[in-house]
Structure 1
Amino acid sequence: MTKTALIRPAWTPATIALMVVGFMVFWPLGLAMLAYIIWGDRLEDFKGDWSKARNSIFGSCKKGRTMHARTGNVAFDDWREKELDRLAEERRKLDTMREEFDAYARELRRAKDQQEFDRFMAERSKNTPANRQPEKGEGLLDDV
């Protein structure tokens, strides 16, 4: 997902406006938009998890459907079986690489978020002097 999209799971003016309009039109729409803003970045992970679960449950049905009957030519059937096994192994390798890349991308996002947070905290500490004396009316014991 690109970060320049108009409607993305973040607190942007467009998503806030859609949420408000959703609450005004029909409150479940506003609630759905609020849920998307808060948890929308987890949808990709959910879709991937659902896909894996679906494949593990219905994978045997799919295999049974794609397996072809023997042709009677033993050499061809053996070659086809080896090629299908090789392709299945390549598919497993690709799935593993995709999972590794997804983990890498999640770590990059986490590191970027951490860097932004650290920069915010550093700027905040520069702008808020630690040794500043409270002015009249700011302290709790001034009225005593």
Structure 2
Amino acid sequence: MRCSAVVRPGFHPLSIALMVGGFMIAWPIGLAMLGYMLWGDRLAGFADGLRQGFTGAAARHGFTPGAGFGYSATGNAAFDAYRASELERLEAERRRLDEERREFEAYMTHLRRARDQEEFDRFKAERTAWKQRSGDPTKP
């Protein structure tokens, strides 16, 4: 099953219509839509940066990611070592999955750009062919 956003960042007919409608309803909505159109592709990286910043700050203050607030040593050294190793393993798995997600998003961005380039090349070829058929003196 293919899942994609209906409104994706960039200047697309639906995005432009939503931006204009937003400005007509209330200018902050239109401004927010314009911001999404311009910088929406950077939101995923921004969210990752925030999450890493919060995780790092929490670790500096004694909070182990995944362990939860209020968890401390149980008094059983073997269990505490086991819990620490499992949490580190889970954190490594999360980092690996985040890296795979970033790679997939980069791949999808590349595919979108390739599709856009193909559509543009097809348009240029059809336009050139049309001008040659019609005998347009301004043909390239």
Provide the TM-score with structure 1 as the length reference: 0.69
Rate the CA distance shift 1:69–1:97 in 2: closer, same or farther, 3 A: closer
1:142 is matched with: none
Distance, in Å, in 2 between the alignment partners of 1:70 and 1:120 is: 62
Q: How many residues get paired?
A: 128
1:23 is matched with: 23
Sequence identity percentage: 23
CA displacement, residues 5-57 of structure 1 (integer Å, 9 cap, x when unaligned): 4x4435242x4333223212321221111111222232222111100011111
Distance, in Å, in 1 between the alignment partners of 2:117 and 2:21 is: 35
Provide the TM-score with structure 2 as the length reference: 0.70
Any unmatched runs of 5+ in structure 2?
none
One-letter amino acid of the counterpart of residue 24, structure 2: M
One-letter amino acid of the counterpart of residue 72, structure 2: H
2:72 is matched with: 68
CA displacement, residues 88-139 of structure 1 (integer Å, 9 cap, x when unaligned): 221232122123212321231133023213422431343225xx5862xx49
Rate the CA distance shift 1:17–1:114 in 2: closer, same or farther, 3 A: closer
Rate the CA distance shift 1:56–1:78 in 2: closer, same or farther, 3 A: same
Of structures 1 and 2, the larger Rg is shown by: 1
Rate the CA distance shift 1:83–1:66 in 2: closer, same or farther, 3 A: farther
